[in-house]
Amino acid sequence: MKKLMNKFFKNYKKGNTLSETLIALAIVGVVFTISMGTIVADHNKNQTVIRLKRIYSIVSQSFERSTAQNGTIANWDLFDGRTEHGSYAFFEQYLKPFLTLSRDCKNSTEGSCAYTFKELDATEKELNSTWTRFFLNDGTFIALQSYSDENYKVIYFYIDTNGKKRLNVVARDIFLFEYWIENAEHPEYVGKLLPFGHEYTRAELISASNPNNCNNTKNGNYCGALIIKDNWQIISGYPWAQARYVVQ
């Protein structure tokens, strides 16, 4: 055993010193940590896009099925979503029959139906009772609000791709969409589920010129539009790392 140990140390001295070995191990550890961080981030991005794309399809199909049963959307009643029960009246009549829910919160802001989140710039926001909210059977949380005036009729959707699990941050797991019932100025939008900000170019979406832009100094409501404009990908220019705030 003694001869074996002496041979080991003799060979070790011919190679790297202990300090050199420790430095090499430290460098390997740093590279490994960085690589793992990148791998985890890429995985999370891909999963977010996959979930968002699937939910987008589910909501779009619910409108298609509703149209088949209730007729053209031009004849749908759009209840005033600025009242406490207006949005729910729309949801109950036109969408609820075509979705599989685990919970219908109606307009409740109590208990698990309460919903507080953070925008990309870390501004805290809470949905009030004019927002109808519900959970799909896979845990996805969706809140909608109908709005109309003499020029247009639209439904706004907040979609939380992983429900009330963390992070609850716009641009990371929360995205804003709109469905146009009527739009005299842009009839090409009617009957489509569109990401909020879809009408802007990519450069405009990531700039700091609009409070809704997909920029870490703004609220991030246009980030869903950026993902779709980038062919359902989260790529360079997307403020993924900045969207890290957690609602407790």
**Residue 149: pLDDT band with limits 50, 70, 90:** confident
User: What are the contacts of 74-78 at 24+ separation with CB within 8 A?
Assistant: 74/181, 74/182, 74/190, 76/181, 78/146, 78/148, 78/153, 78/181, 78/182
- Residue 111 pLDDT more than 80? yes
- Residue 168 pLDDT more than 50? yes
- Residue 36 pLDDT more than 70? no
Q: How much is the mean pLDDT over the chain?
A: 86
**Residue 28: pLDDT band with limits 50, 70, 90:** low
**pTM higher than the cut 0.75:** yes
Closest CA to 225 of 55, 40, 64, 52: 52
Greater pLDDT, 36 or 213: 213
pLDDT at 177: 98
- Kindly state the percentage of the chain with pLDDT values over 70: 79
**Identity (one letter) of the amino acid at 215?**
N
Q: Which residue has the tokens 């699937």?
A: 54
Q: Which residue has the tokens 């429900």?
A: 163
Average pLDDT of the segment spanning 131-148: 94
Dist CA 165 CA 137 (whole Å): 15
